[in-house]
Structure 1
Amino acid sequence: MPYTEELPNALYRAEQVREFDRIAIEEYGISGSELMERAGSRAFQLIRELWPEVADLSVVCGAGNNGGDGYVVARLARQAGLACRVFWLVDPARLQGDARRMADAWHACGGESEPLQQLPRQTDLIVDALLGTGLVRPISGEWAVAVRQINAHPAPVLAIDIPSGLDSDTGCMRGTAVQADATLSFIGLKQGMFTADGPGVCGKIRFDALELPAQIYARQILAARRLDYSKIVQHLTPRPRTAHKGDFGRLLVIGGDQGYSGAARMAAEAAARGGAGLVAVATHPAHAATLNIGRPELMCHGVAEPDELEALLEWADQLVLGPGLGQGEWGRAMFAAACSAGLPMVADADALNLLAAQPERRANWVLTPHPGEAARLLGSDVGSVQRDRFQALQDLSLRYGGVVILKGPGSLIGDDSSRRPGLCSAGNPGLASGGSGDILSGLLGALLAQGLAAQDAAETAVCVHAAAADRAAEAGERGMLASDLLPHIRRLLNPESADVGA
């Protein structure tokens, strides 16, 4: 099978993929019609694999290459003996170039097409060949009606190249988008498929390079790097047999105002499970005596005033600041004292909200905002952040320095260097529960305490966290607790263990 379930690491913007297409045609002599034939053929092969019982297809075609691919799928399905109907939003007589040739070939083999008015109720599969990566404005009018029809139909949907209506660069829906069960992407993976709305509308993602020469890809610098557990496992080397706890860092978690001890506890326990040599917690005196019940390895200190934090800051190599910190008088005092120490840190939760009120730029921290926190840090709103998460990541990195993890579906990791951002394509909605971010910040702090460079630690923590969530979700996403990740995190951090696969 030419297409692959093993997705490439390189992610591109739409204009870059179009440039690959141009180079293939103009410089390597691969005709546009040949590329269209290959795309349609790969799509039909995927249909046969994912839906082997399909006997009746409805293909919805627009204009341009995406519509042309749809006509190829329809022709191949008909030639294979399947019933197939084509519904168009652009009259085939108005098509040009390769798309027109493919529409003519469909009609020449006896196929018929008709304007889309109502999709047939009895159809086994819908093929979305409406709009490709060239979408530049919100879907409206009859196009929006077509998308709503597709989404309302009970049949599964295969999207050609990208679900119609999804912005391939930002991952945001342009008004509305096809909700596909599977998407087969061609030539280059589009970065928007893996973040923002992308994971929610793409379904299973498959990829096919359409046999383009590898040299073509050297002509563009990728836009982002797709990451998952298998991509970061090289950072998780076995420990030396002569190691001792002092080799793996002293981590101090600062947080847990009155009523919020659980956040600090989860971050600290995740840090211990993440391999930090020693983990201490500086927390509000109200619950310092009980915070480590059931986890006596954690050293807990009740800290009422900033000067009581001084000795702990001198002891620590690395800080995790923010879980359960609050924004009251105690939290503000702890935040100021921790920041003045100049230690490398992970800033999370209320530390980010306090930072938004008093912005500063540092090189030795990792910031871990979710979209709401990112909006406050940028003085904008959640909608603006989510409309272009890649731009928001860049803006955060430029304003605050260090490394930034913009959390959410398709978490992004980057800094203000020329290194392309990482995008974690793993994880699931089970993470949408209280404490998941605290587990991540503790794990990240542990990796930093063990000596990983900030970008490597951030990418490793995000990918291990997401992989642990995917394992925990095997028992169900609904009802999954943040602490359910901890046993999986331990196994994933030890890839030499027999039960850990890539």
Structure 2
Amino acid sequence: MKAEQWSGKLYRAEQVRRGERQAAAQQQLAMYLLMERAGAAVFHQLEQDFTRHQHVLVCCGGGNNGGDGYVVARLAKEAGYQVTLWQMGDAAKLQGDAALARDAWLATGGQILPPAASIPSSIEVVIDALLGTGLSGEVRPEGKQLIMMINRIAVPVIAIDIPSGLCADTGKVLGEAVKAQSTVTFIGSKQGLWTGQAAEYVGQVQFAGLQVADDFEQIEPPSARLIQAADVGSCLLPRARSAHKGDHGRIILAGGDHGMGGAIRMASEAAARAGAGLTAVLTQPDNALSIVTARPEIMAVGWQQTDKVLLAQRLQWADVLVVGPGLGQSSWSQSLYSELTKTEKSLVVDADGLNLLSRSPDYKNNRIITPHPGEAARLLACSVHEVEADRFRAARALQQKYGGVVVLKGAGTLVDDGTQCWVCAAGNPGMATGGMGDVLSGIIGALLGQGLSLAAAAWCGVWIHSTAADRCAAEGERGMLASDLFPHIRQLVNPR
């Protein structure tokens, strides 16, 4: 997904509906002119992607989204495309601007047809103008049937504003949703396009401001922001020529119970590769030698529950703690977690650290937690389905319950500090493999050690991690290993 010449600000659907009217009023524009501009933006996308004289099917619904479809159909017909237009519902019942667009289509000699039992084999591209951002409940049976028909035909689809059936606020599929090759969204990009199930449906997201976006952004504050490369680069400033290792953070990573030494090994190397000045590990004694042998730059020591002196020394030395990779839930794990999480220093809690936190919830403002949906469900005492049904709400609920900053992992990872939410559009399915979360926690810990705030370390770390995975995916998503990210992480923390 991409967004060119766009601020990265995201909005809820109601904000866009409200704000676009105010922005149009400020410019003394008729709302029908915005419909014309929206249709023209989608037609421009059609012209970019497909040659003229192809057969286009425009599927229109009963609201303004359908009106946009009528504009696209008219422009395409005038430009020489063969256009078939299907209207779901009674075209005679269209009102307002949608009715004006319908009449303009008819004036060109265009026809309005009801949906057929199947899509003709001559169709080469579909324009989805069925259901817009006002959809709140499940798609009705007629709409479901047509959406499934669109998804069965092996031709590209351009969705107008949002794929029909996808919730604009959450990215949840409301029964059935159109799978688009590209989505052209208007005025304010909808937050639901960027997280959760949306990744499967939106294709390439294109933004069209319709010449009112600047005024709109002055009216409506964003509900979330997309993390962009320039934002990350502004946080990763060049180091002073006189810098020394103590300037860039002393990081302790704790975990690696029996049989799980690999997790803490990967987390600690990720911290080192992301620029931590000094990286140390507290782990089961059996793991220490293998970590030091594989990566001698990491100061790994074995810890036993009776060794309170070592723990006190390490805590005093550290600037930042990362607790959880491979931690387990044994008595050893619980003792280490209990001692380290008493700190007032910056703290990242991941993996089994989150499972232990869910047993004894507390609120801390010096902490970043990094749950995947399953861990988030345990932390909120709800189901994974409830978390994924509204990831924005779940991330804010986690922050309100546990404090600090929340990283809710998954497709379209969210970072929430209780005031602002950031969304990461980078990443790919190849990341669904063991150790990826451990690498992320190490990166975030290293960025904290280099002086970034909790929020900045979290959203920069998420973007670096996901972008490194995207670079790895150039060689294929299947078979990607968490450790494959390391060389890319080093490149990304040194922006040019």
In structure 2, the partner of 1:80 is 79
In structure 2, the partner of 1:105 is 104
1:336 counterpart = 2:335: no
After TM superposition, list the pairs within 5 Å mapping 1:405-420 onto structure 2. 405-416=407-418, 418=419, 420=420
In structure 1, the partner of 2:253 is 253
In structure 2, the partner of 1:142 is 142
1:304 counterpart = 2:289: no
Question: CA, structure 1 residues 268+53, in 2 after alignment: closer, same or farther (shift >3 Å)?
Answer: farther
After TM superposition, list the pairs within 5 Å mapping 1:345-494 onto structure 2. 345-416=347-418, 418=419, 420-494=420-494
In structure 2, the partner of 1:499 is none
Instruction: Name the SS of the counterpart of 1:126 in structure 2.
Output: strand
Alignment partners' CA distance in 1, 2:239 and 2:52: 51
Instruction: Name the SS of the counterpart of 2:290 in structure 1.
Output: coil
In structure 1, the partner of 2:64 is 65
Instruction: Name the SS of the counterpart of 2:487 in structure 1.
Output: helix
Alignment partners' CA distance in 2, 1:166 and 1:388: 12
User: Normalising to structure 1: TM-score of the pair?
Assistant: 0.95
Q: Displacement of 1:146 after TM fit?
A: 0.7
Q: Is the 8 A contact 1:4 1:208 kept in 2?
A: no
Q: Displacement of 1:14 after TM fit?
A: 0.5
Stretch moving more, 234-243 or 48-57: 48-57
Per-residue CA deviation, residues 362-391 of structure 1 (Å, 9 max, x unaligned), is 111110111111111111111111111111
Q: Is the 8 A contact 1:8 1:189 kept in 2?
A: no
Q: Is the 8 A contact 2:412 2:423 kept in 1?
A: yes
Instruction: Name the SS of the counterpart of 1:337 in structure 2.
Output: helix
Consecutive unaligned residues of structure 1, counting only runs of 5 or more, are 497-502
Instruction: Name the SS of the counterpart of 1:17 in structure 2.
Output: helix
Matched residue type, 1:490: R
Q: Displacement of 1:25 after TM fit?
A: 4.0
Alignment partners' CA distance in 2, 1:167 and 1:42: 22
Q: Is the 8 A contact 2:256 2:264 kept in 1?
A: yes
Matched residue type, 2:299: M
Stretch moving more, 307-316 or 120-129: 307-316
Per-residue CA deviation, residues 100-158 of structure 1 (Å, 9 max, x unaligned), is 11111112211112111222122110000000000010113111001101111111000
In structure 2, the partner of 1:294 is 294
Alignment partners' CA distance in 1, 2:147 and 2:378: 34
Aligned pairs, number: 492
| Percent identity (aligned) | 47
Q: Displacement of 1:294 after TM fit?
A: 2.4
User: Normalising to structure 2: TM-score of the pair?
Assistant: 0.97
1:191 counterpart = 2:191: yes
Q: Displacement of 1:85 after TM fit?
A: 0.2
Instruction: Name the SS of the counterpart of 2:72 in structure 1.
Output: helix
Per-residue CA deviation, residues 217-260 of structure 1 (Å, 9 max, x unaligned), is 21111111111223211111111111111111111110000110
Per-residue CA deviation, residues 158-209 of structure 1 (Å, 9 max, x unaligned), is 0000000111011111111111010000111000000011122100000101
Alignment partners' CA distance in 1, 2:319 and 2:288: 21
Stretch moving more, 112-121 or 198-207: 112-121
In angstroms, what is the RMSD of aligned CA positions?
1.4
Consecutive unaligned residues of structure 2, counting only runs of 5 or more, are none
Instruction: Name the SS of the counterpart of 2:462 in structure 1.
Output: helix
Instruction: Name the SS of the counterpart of 2:415 in structure 1.
Output: strand
Stretch moving more, 270-279 or 311-320: 311-320
Alignment partners' CA distance in 1, 2:3 and 2:344: 47
Matched residue type, 1:384: E
